[in-house]
A = this chain, B = another copy of it.
Amino acid sequence: MERERALELLQAVQRGELAPAEALESFARPPFVDTAHGRVDVQRALRQGIPEAIFAPGKTPAQIAEVVRALRAEDQPALATRVAPEVAREVQALLPGGDYVADARLLWFGPAEVNLRGKGSIAVVCAGMADLPVAREAAEVAQRLGNKVELLCDVGVAGLHRLLAAVPLLREARVLIAVAGMEGALPSVVAGLVDKPVIAVPCSTGYGAALGGGAALLCMLTSCAPNVAVVNIDNGFGAAALASLINRL
């Protein structure tokens, strides 16, 4: 159960609109559900504020659908990441109604509209067009988790004027997500221009010494700006989840 939903239930009880016994039913459900292949954590949203996401690679469409079903049965939204188009189609064939966002490789089962829960906006900036899929994943997830999001692409540090032109937009954000592959210098430069937390996402774009995102990762970890923290390579989802929690503070 999402924290918000739990609060609604309790308020309904307070207002006399819901019998305590009936509310209890909702609360007394076990914190996980055993399916054919595993144990689904159906209270992560309640405990961590972020619903459990399904990392699609390595799972069959049937397994993905199984977890989605378990979550939906508990009134939770279900979000699958890194979903290839053909996998999405197969899951949607098994379980109609999902919303597939191709350029962010996300499959969403839940309300089309979400309440705004973040207090300010989240800015997602990315260095080059090759980093766009990861930036889009971050932006899309942040939006589905209840945030206002600004996305800005192609502001690599070798053409500073493009980034400097965006400074006002950056300064407006309450939290920033900076996505970059190759040399991964963007978060350091962005962080120097704002006094807000910057979540850095290294990208696996690039070749040779880029080491599949490793160079960007190291570069971000060693940033000389004190307001940068880093998530895993290509982990747009994680960056968005964390930014959402910060934006709710």
Chain A interface residues toward B at CB < 8 A: 3, 31-32, 37-41, 43-44, 47-50, 52-53, 55, 57-59, 63, 67, 119, 127-130, 132, 152-162, 165, 174-175, 182-185, 188-189, 191-197, 199, 202, 204-235, 237-239, 241-242, 245-247, 249
Contacts and interface: CB of A to CB of B under 8 A. Distances in A.
A219 B154 contact: no
B224 A158 contact: yes
Contacts of A206: 222
10 contacts: A32-B162, A39-B153, A44-B159, A48-B194, A158-B223, A182-B223, A183-B185, A196-B249, A206-B222, A208-B233
A248 to B, nearest CB: 9
A130 B224 contact: no
B157 A224 contact: yes
Given A38-B154, A55-B130, A208 B234 contact: yes
Given A38-B128, A192-B47, A192-B159, A226 B241 contact: yes
Contacts of A233: 207-209, 221
A196 B245 contact: yes
B188 A157 contact: yes
Contacts of A161: 31-32, 43
A3 B228 CA distance: 19
A202 B219 CA distance: 12
